[in-house]
């Protein structure tokens, strides 16, 4: 059980597995983006086209299924595959917008709080504490109860819930980098605050903020799906994976494919993002990398 790292050992299986995970993650995400952009070309049908005569057709490999509807049709005869394809758009738009809004706002607040310090910092951090202590979904529900449910409302609610983690992370990094000799040196020789912030502090933020952004993207995709499932997110006739799962719920016992395929789409999307995030963490954090390396050596020896 002891760890003795002596000399330079070749990178072992643990590393290679991690890298494979990154490739899978990136692959899944690339597929997602391509699907979202090319949705009208890829989808065999209009996702909202109703055809009562063709309702509740099973997927192609079951009795009664055909290649016309590879994933079957729902209770209104809409093509499940086309709806899954178009659903990528909502997830992607919600994820990217929330991460952009919350990330930029949180980073700015964190930068200012960390740099200015004093009363502003204390106030912001207390607020962040309150907000983090009270986790999200219920608050998002409240916001949506006040505003009308729509994609925009979902983005607003999830952004309000998401900026604090960025602010806290950035503020802590600013505080620790500011104490480093090279930043002190820059301040001593008379660099103005903007130069210190943008030139000397900001580059240190890139890696951790990016890792957090990827993780937050996963959270947002899941949250949008949950809100839409509860009926307070995306509203019909728009298409969303969460909404489709909710719609197929009543047919679970005789038409399982309505719930299964959109759910799988959510799972694989979030899985891809999580693979990517865990790889980014190792790549950007030398300490974490060392730990993994030590562990892989330990595994080999035991």
Partner 1 sequence: MNEFGWFFVRRVLQGAVVVLGVTALVFVFTRLIGDPVAIMLPLEATEAERAQLRAYLGLDRSLGLQFLEFLRQLTVLEFGDSFWQRRPNVEIIVERLPWTLLLVGASMTLAVVLALPLGTIAALYPGRLPDRLTSFLSLAGLSIPLFWLGLMLIFLFAAKLQWLPSSGPGGLAHLVLPSVTLALPAAGRIAMLLRSTLIDELNAPYVRTAIAKGLPARRVITVHTFINAAVPVLTMIGWEVTRALAGYTIVVETVFAWPGLGLVAVQAIQRDDLVLVQAIVFVVAILVVAVNLLLDVAHRLIDPRVKL
Would you count residue 31 as binding partner 1 (CB under 8 A)? no
User: Which residue of 111, 169, 174, 222 would you call a contact of partner 1, by CB under 8 A?
Assistant: 222
Nearer to partner 1, 60 or 139 (CB): 139
Would you count residue 27 as binding partner 1 (CB under 8 A)? no
Residues 259-278 close enough to bind partner 1 by CB under 8 A: 259-260, 263, 266-267, 270-271, 274
Would you count residue 144 as binding partner 1 (CB under 8 A)? yes
Binding string, residues 172-191; x marks residues near partner 1 by CB under 8 A: --------------------
Q: Least separation, in Å, of the C-beta of 43 and partner 1?
A: 22
Q: Which stretch binds partner 1 (CB under 8 A): 97-105, 181-189, 197-205, 252-260?
A: 252-260
Nearer to partner 1, 30 or 252 (CB): 252
Nearer to partner 1, 18 or 69 (CB): 18
H-helix or E-strand spanning residue 87:
helix 80-116
Region of 123 (left: φ > 0; alpha: ψ -120 to 50; beta: rest) is alpha
Q: Least separation, in Å, of the C-beta of 62 and partner 1?
A: 15
Would you count residue 225 as binding partner 1 (CB under 8 A)? yes
* Whether 71 contacts 261, CB under 8 Å: yes
Cβ count within 10 A of residue 174: 26
Distance of alpha carbon 209 from alpha carbon 169, whole angstroms: 8
Burial class (CB in 10 A: 0-12, 13-18, 19+), 192: exposed
- State how far the alpha carbon of 301 is from the alpha carbons of 4, 6, 9, 265, 295, in Å: 9, 12, 12, 40, 10
- State how far the alpha carbon of 84 is from the alpha carbons of 5, 177, 237, 242, in Å: 49, 45, 14, 10
Distance of alpha carbon 258 from alpha carbon 104, whole angstroms: 37
DSSP string, 208-251: HHHHHHHHHHHHHHHHHHHHHHTTSSS-TTS--HHHHHHHHGGG
Nearer to partner 1, 283 or 298 (CB): 298
Nearer to partner 1, 50 or 226 (CB): 226
Would you count residue 299 as binding partner 1 (CB under 8 A)? yes
Q: Least separation, in Å, of the C-beta of 252 and partner 1?
A: 6
Residues 103-132 close enough to bind partner 1 by CB under 8 A: 126-127, 129-131
Radius of gyration of the CA atoms of the chain, in A: 24
Binding site for partner 1 (CB under 8 A): 1-3, 126-127, 129-131, 133-139, 141-147, 218, 222, 225-226, 229-232, 242, 245, 249, 252-253, 256, 259-260, 263, 266-267, 270-271, 274, 294-295, 298-299, 302
């Amino acid at each position: 059980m002891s760890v003795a790292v002596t000399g330079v050992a070749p990178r072992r299986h643990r590393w290679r597995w991690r890298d494979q995970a990154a490739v899978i993650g990136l692959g899944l995400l690339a597929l997602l983006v391509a699907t979202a952009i090319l949705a009208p070309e890829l989808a065999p049908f209009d996702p909202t086209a109703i055809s009562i005569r063709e309702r509740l057709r099973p997927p192609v490999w079951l009795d009664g299924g055909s290649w016309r509807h590879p994933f079957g049709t729902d209770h209104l005869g809409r093509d499940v595959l086309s709806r899954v394809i178009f659903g990528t758009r909502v997830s992607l738009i919600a994820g990217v917008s929330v991460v952009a809004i919350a990330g930029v706002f949180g980073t700015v607040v964190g930068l200012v709080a960390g740099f200015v310090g004093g009363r502003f910092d204390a106030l912001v951090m207390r607020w962040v504490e309150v907000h983090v202590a009270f986790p999200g979904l219920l608050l998002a529900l409240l916001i949506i109860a006040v505003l009308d449910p729509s994609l925009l409302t979902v983005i607003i609610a999830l952004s309000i819930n998401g900026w604090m983690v960025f602010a806290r992370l950035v503020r802590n990094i600013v505080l620790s980098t500011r104490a480093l000799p090279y930043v002190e040196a820059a301040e001593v020789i008379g660099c103005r605050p903007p130069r210190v912030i943008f030139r000397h502090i900001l580059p240190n933020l890139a890696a951790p903020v990016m890792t957090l952004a990827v993780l937050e993207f996963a959270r947002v995709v899941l949250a949008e799906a949950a809100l839409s499932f509860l009926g307070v997110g995306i509203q019909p006739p728009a298409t969303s994976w969460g909404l489709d799962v909710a719609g197929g719920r009543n047919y679970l016992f005789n038409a399982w494919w309505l719930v299964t395929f959109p759910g799988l789409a959510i799972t694989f999307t979030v899985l891809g993002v999580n693979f990517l995030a865990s790889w980014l963490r190792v790549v950007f954090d030398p300490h974490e990398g060392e730990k993994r390396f030590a562990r892989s050596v330990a595994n080999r020896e035991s």
